[in-house]
Amino acid sequence: MMLVIGLTGGIATGKSTTAAMIRDRGIPLHDADAAVHDMMAAGGLATGPVAEAFGDDILTADGAVDRQRLGRAVFADSALRKRLEAIIHPLVADDRDRFLEMHRKA
């Protein structure tokens, strides 16, 4: 039986330190923040949907999502934040589910 533990907390509460300790012990860890960074990098799963929702000018020259520009937009407008969350949350959930399935089989 696989034990699944969620690690949550506010800003600056030690999540990254705790996650590093878990990784250092060789325990598989799904990092949602890292998954989002990968999804918003050039060629990532989120770049197309984010550009479609926010316009091509939200992308950098290399095709990555301009996270600073996107952040300024979504933190200034809750409707835009909800639009972004509607794109990102299902992608992260799918990524997490693939991770869990892979480790259930291991």
- Region 43-66 average pLDDT: 98
Q: How confident is the model at residue 105 (pLDDT cuts 50, 70, 90)?
A: confident
Q: Which of 9, 11, 12, 4 is nearest to 30 (CA)?
A: 4
State the pTM of this model: 0.88
Backbone angle region of 44, left / alpha / beta, with phi > 0 → left and psi within -120 to 50 → alpha: beta
Percent over 70 (pLDDT), the chain: 99
pLDDT at 50 over 70: yes
Looking at residue 22, what is its pLDDT?
95
pLDDT at 106 over 70: no
CA dihedral 35, 36, 41, 42 (to 10 degrees): 90
